[in-house]
Amino acid sequence: MENLKTLYTAIVEGDAKTAKAVAESAIAAGVPPQQLLNEIMIPAMDEVGRLFEANEYFVPELLISARAMKWALEVIKPHLIAGGAQPAGRVAIGTVKGDLHDIGKNLVAAMLEGGGFEIIDLGVDVGADQFLEAYRTKQVDIVALSALLTTTMPSMKQIIDEFKAAGVRDKVKIIVGGAPVTAEYAGEIGADGYSENASSAVTLARSLVGAG
């Protein structure tokens, strides 16, 4: 459908107004929201991720595409929910205890939201108790930990250890990221996954919740 190709292009090019308008007309024309999401919108964000990996896109392009995705998602969301569809998963995200940096965390949150996840943003300087509270009260599938400083990375391990001590470590997936964090470190502290950037965080989160 020509119209749907326009939605794809609008998301890849970050044209939020067009993305919203095309999503609205597609819903009005009776296109199933699930089909819009799975066949057009998520593949469009995958293409954005590919362009980022290929160095054709940088953070500004990621952000405007994520915004276009968000606008289109807001159009189809009520129809998805009415149709009984669930979000890809629910993520509690925060910058760990002792660390006040939020740019990386906000970027990952924006990209995950564009990837169809529901985001619970716990902010910065977040301790294990707050992550545990979010897990207990909000039915979180994934806990995402961010740290910018080498000095606050150990807080990631403490949080994972607290989930173990609370006996719920295997009930939730924990992913980590941030400038000083490496895949080795993620393995060492027992995280379920590590992402080098905001774009691949979406692929990682999807693989962990089995959403394709």
Closest CB 120 distance from another protein, rounded Å:
18
Nearer to another protein, 67 or 173 (CB): 67
Closest CB 55 distance from another protein, rounded Å:
5
Closest by CA to 14, choosing from 80, 78, 72, is 72
Closest CB 28 distance from another protein, rounded Å:
30
Nearer to another protein, 4 or 64 (CB): 64
Closest CB 53 distance from another protein, rounded Å:
9
Nearer to another protein, 102 or 118 (CB): 102
Q: How many CB atoms lie under 10 A from the CB of residue 148?
A: 21
Contact predicate 177/205, CB 8 Å? no
Closest CB 100 distance from another protein, rounded Å:
4
* Binding positions for another protein, rule: CB under 8 A: 55, 57-61, 63-64, 98-103, 106-107, 110, 124, 149-154, 157, 180, 182, 185
Nearer to another protein, 96 or 143 (CB): 96
| Distance between CA atoms of residues 146 and 96, nearest Å | 6
Closest CB 158 distance from another protein, rounded Å:
11
Nearer to another protein, 33 or 178 (CB): 178
Nearer to another protein, 60 or 210 (CB): 60
Please give, one letter per residue, the 3-state secondary structure of the chain: CHHHHHHHHHHHHCCHHHHHHHHHHHHHCCCCHHHHHHHHHHHHHHHHHHHHHCCCCCHHHHHHHHHHHHHHHHHHHHHHHHCCCCCCCEEEEEEECCCCCCHHHHHHHHHHHHCCCEEEECCCCECHHHHHHHHHHHCCCEEEEECCCCCCCHHHHHHHHHHHHCCCHHHCEEEEECCCCCHHHHHHCCCCEECCCHHHHHHHHHHHHCCC
